[in-house]
Chain A
Amino acid sequence: MLEAIKKYLGLVWMALAIVAAYYCIGVFGWPKITSGLQEDNVFGWIILLVLTPIIVGGLFMFGYFAFTNEYKKEE
């Protein structure tokens, strides 16, 4: 039962990574970069170049590993 939960939660993490990508790029990152305000600009670039790859890429990869049963035996 727990192994099935682990596996199918993997899909949730991948979906969450896509939601995070939307927020990181569409809500926080790009609008701030194009706002023309200095303080927003810095924030936007940090979100886009640092936070987005780590959160989105990392979470998606984690979800993928979970879905492919990489966390099944070794915990």
Chain B
Amino acid sequence: MSKTSNNNSIFKVIAASSVGTLIEWYDFYIFGSLAFIISGKFFPQDNPTAAFLSTLATFAAGFVVRPFGALVFGRLGDLIGRKYTFMLTLLLMGGATFLIGCVPSYDTIGYWAPFLVLVLRLLQGLALGGEYGGAATYVAEHAPANRRGYYTSWIQTTATAGLFISLMVILITKSTLSADAFDAWGWRVPFWVSVIMVFVSYIIRQKMHESPLFAKAKAEGKIVKNPLKESFGNKYNLKFVLLALFGAVMGQGVIWYTGQFYAMNFIQKVCNVNSIQTDSLVAIALLMATPFFVVFGGLSDKIGRKSIMLAGMLLAVLTYRPIYKNIFEITDIAAKTELADKRTVTNRLENKEDKTIIHYQFLSYYEDGTIATKDSVVTINTVNKAETVKTGYSIQLDSGNKWKLIWLVFIQVIYVTMVYGPIAAFLVEMFPVNIRYTSMSLPYHVGNGIFGGLLPMVATYLVTKAQTSGSPDWYLNGLWYPIIIAGISFVIGLVYLSRKNRQVHD
């Protein structure tokens, strides 16, 4: 076969694998991106913090079950083949996502709502646990050994691209609909959109052939009967599973979540930048940085996976605190000069059956172009005269400061591309074909799902603790979690991983 037809063939494989993986990430992210609104719809609203944390718990549950998905589908993939397994995960993910968009709210069906959402979220986690290993293995087993980093790095772009597309779909839906319509039903649209994408991806994947290396191993009778036992019960393989986890994926996982999720949460919740501006600036940073997955994946074929991944970890450990301090200072209203004569207050009265609602909006303008908005909604019950007040606060940055934030998020996503770009090839090369799907999936999902996925919870805990103890830099304390985890992973990787890319003979 000519070089061109080989290239065409491998890019067909990459495209078919990537589209499905991208959709799975999209499905997984929209839940996280809409966590705040979902908490109000599906969980008891008596205590907003409890409702929000319940959603985060559901989010973590989605991450926690990912390793179990890796075991279930990894085993299947090593027994019946890569192709059928990752078609199954695609359908499972698509179905669960669509159904989340259909579940009636807590107000309508009571506790069934959070229960159903939790079950569907767990199914999403299971499916994602099986998808990634299948796609990465499938592409790697089609690629020449000296180009594995480059070809598998396309799969690596899908996680960021999935987040980008989820943000765009949410942004478009929010911009198209009124705030009330989005709150009432519009938030369901991104979930429904998924079903179309899954259908298209299913058709594409159906036309693909089984991985040549797996097909060869099967024809030669080299398939193991119990991939789980062989992967984790065999000491020789187990030590590589542990090395992959602690020396690479653990650090990669926390850097990945810091760069893509913690940054977004920090800008929105701690710095109070309004949600549309936060989504758009993160989306721009992701778009700018995404090509670097392929750059670093390709580079890892030439200079080795280890040096690039460890450099990414070290840079993150050393610079996270200065980066977040900078983000905080850029958005700190207390340090800005207000144009007091421009301050405005508007109000709007709304009469409903048994209550009167007064909406107040206070706008403050600052010298650098920043606008701060404080919304207060006062609800007066006309029967018993009870009064409730809800307030919200957000800022809209000027273009210059917005671009500074984009740059600071971009740097973090570059770290993500350094640790994440080469990781698929790194994992694939650690294990032989007959246990590859199982063996690479588990450390990947433990590292990302557990170490990375629990970052929001641990960081929130650390920040809250620092706040109550009166620490001046309380907002930076959440970073200790990724810094320590990535630091340990860096040392383990530096000492125990080989500088040369590992080659397993299939």
Contact = CB atoms under 8 A, between A and B. Distances in A.
B242 A43 contact: no
Contacts of A51: 450, 454
A40 to B, nearest CB: 9
A71 B54 contact: no
A33 B488 CA distance: 28
Among B242, B243, B246, B454, residue most surrounded by chain A Cβ atoms (within 10 Å): B242
B103 interface: no
Chain A interface helix/strand/loop/mixed? helix
B457 interface: yes
Contact of A46 (B50, B60, B235): B60
A2 B457 contact: no
Interface in A1-49: 2, 5-6, 9, 13, 16, 28, 37-39, 42-43, 46
B450 A50 contact: yes
B450 A6 contact: no
Contact of A66 (B235, B450, B454, B496): B496
B488 A16 contact: yes
A16 B246 CA distance: 12
Interface residues of B, number: 29
A42 B54 contact: yes
Interface string B60-98: 110010000000000000000000000000000000000
Given A39-B50, A42-B54, A58 B245 contact: yes
B242 A61 contact: yes
A75 B497 contact: yes
Contact of B242 (A5, A42, A46, A65): A65
Given A43-B57, A46-B57, A70-B239, A75 B454 contact: no
Contacts of A5: 495
B495 A54 contact: no
B316 to A, nearest CB: 20
A73 B243 CA distance: 14
Contact of B496 (A6, A16, A39, A46): A6
A61 B233 CA distance: 13
Contacts of B224: none
Nearest to A51: B450
A38 B49 CA distance: 11
A61 B492 CA distance: 14
Nearest to B498: A75
B49 A39 contact: yes
Contacts of B54: 38-39, 42
Nearest to A66: B496
A50 B239 CA distance: 20
Contacts of A46: 57, 60-61, 64, 454, 457
Contacts of B491: 9
Interface of A: 2, 5-6, 9, 13, 16, 28, 37-39, 42-43, 46, 50-51, 54, 58-59, 61-62, 65-66, 70-71, 75
Interface of B: 49-50, 53-54, 57, 60-61, 64, 235, 238-239, 242-243, 245-246, 446, 450, 454, 457-458, 461, 488, 491-492, 495-498, 502
26 contacts: A2-B495, A5-B495, A9-B491, A13-B246, A39-B49, A39-B50, A39-B53, A42-B57, A43-B57, A46-B61, A46-B64, A46-B457, A51-B454, A54-B446, A54-B450, A58-B242, A58-B245, A58-B446, A59-B246, A62-B239, A62-B245, A62-B492, A65-B239, A65-B242, A70-B239, A75-B502
